[in-house]
Chain A
Amino acid sequence: MIRLDSIERVFQVGNENVYALNNVSLKISQGEYITIMGPSGSGKSTLLNIIGLLDRPNKGFYILDDVNTTDLSDEQQALVRRHKIGFVFQFFHLVPRLTASENIELPLILAGMKPEKRKDRIKLALEDFRLADRAKHRPDQLSGGQRQRVAIARATIMEPQVVLADEPTGNLDRASGKEVIEILEKLNKKGIILILVTHDPDLGNRAVRKISMVDGKILDDTLALESSKYRLSDK
């Protein structure tokens, strides 16, 4: 469960204060599928970073699983990221000198899991994401779609509650993009909260809940239910 309460994030550009997020409140329940859309600079990436605990708001509360994360120290936030949040990036962010399976293994290594236990998990993940024959390949030997599948495997290896994807198909051709989205949606069906930031309206329309942002504010938050639309808020 995610609850954002009047979040503000201000960046100083020269002498001016720029509001990347301006009084944003949001509630997300377990297993939701949400897309965040909006023009460049509308604050959607900042919102994602705040939810992912990579960034701290200047004002407001962020409660994740009944824990007020704004009170947590840096190291505690790192622990929450490790166990509850998975990231998928537009540029994959694989470590170039590690093989596919080693990249997937990284979060387990950071968590200090024993090698024997890691092996089983990775084997399973490689099979789930159809990467078993690519396990020993380095990122530069993989196609874009395969790289993003490795990245998703890495994001989910710790069994997080939330997967945050920032333009996950932005660097992929249509076919691979579709495949990646289907994988993410499958994860969502298993109960993981999926939050997708995208420019692509086709992608945006696939989600049950659509949030559109402009100038650091939530413009529209709609729920598509059985072909009819309900407005969740009128902000």
Chain B
Amino acid sequence: MTLKTFAGGLHPPDSKHYTEEKAIERCPLPDELIIPAAQHIGAPAEICVVVGDQVKKGQPIATAKGFVSVPIHASTSGEVIAVEPRPHPMGRPLPAVVIKPDGEDQWDESLQGNDPGQLDAAELKNLICNAGIVGMGGATFPAHVKLSPPEGKNIDTLILNGVECEPFLTADHRMMLEESERIIDGVKILRKILGLETAIIGIEVNKPNAIEKLTAECAPHNIQVQALKVQYPQGAEKQLIDACTGRQVPSGGLPMDCGVVVQNVGTCAAISDAIRLGHPLVERVATVTGPGIIEPKNLLVAIGTPLQHLLDQCVGIDGEPAKIIMGGPMMGQTQLSLDVPAIRGTSGLLVFREEDLPRKNAGPCIRCGRCIGVCPIHLQPTTIAAYARLDRVDDAENYNALDCIECGCCTYICPATLPLVQSIRHIKGGIMAKRRNS
């Protein structure tokens, strides 16, 4: 039987062996938690606490600003010791609330659990928004926005993303093995909101134990587990929709334009907690790994824990860190230091030493066309990158540069090691600026 997948993409060595057998461990609290106000796509939340405030775990410390925004909550109980710009995964200091934990880790008493059966879709969405639930795969798009399609958009399919196609990362894999009940409960809540009877969980076949476990547990709940061929970037929404349903999201469109909502399995578990327990999103599972890490682990991390603390839990690194990546190696963000905190989108922390990194200077394009072959959007990365170098914004726009999902396949495959994704991202900025001005 041929397995379902999408056209394009590639399969880098997945390097998941470091952590795929390791059960999720709770990471102890650090001396101070740095909780930034900007942790999601959309408007950053507005900080609503001041220095000296005593906060409880789950208490809002920043309120949502606008529809595409969510509140931020304290990840533990303690005292607010600073509200100031601190190093942020984006690469520059941004406003953050610094909390000194009191060691009690006490939940806010006002948080109440609910029975999802008693609530209607609007109430559920409201609870999800107030709990600060965002896409946990790494893109951190507010979940309630995806669940609120505008009039006229008919949603007929719910897809759960258990693909975890990024190399090294195993956080979602472990969640599916250890937290399948919460995930299935979250799926049922999502189905109720969307008014659907079924759902599909897409999982790549390099996680056979997760497929087996979820197939058995999902059967009574009318949730179908779809085994998928191992292919990066299958975890990207548009590629996952193509792989599972054969539908194509139109250029410039969203999944809801072809009747689909996609949510990550980790998001489902968080939604279950938000409704049943009333617990907001204050912790997540992150994979801390890399060839030089002495004890790679899957850690349950309080939001705001500095990366150095995560590394310390893994007994550090055998050598000097040379490259720190938050997220996966293909789409993750390189960090300037280990002082930045883990945020809601931190699916992993990868630390590489100098000897683990390839070092080859970029050469001229040899026009081999490999980037075109692997592009999951079927763009011409080398042509767009050439236009980017020449600042020819209109030409890049005509070559659909804005449809690039920045998955990194072209840069990965390029034998001349050209910075293709960066070039395309640069000209995308130029195209957006042009559209704003006209």
* A and B from one complex: no
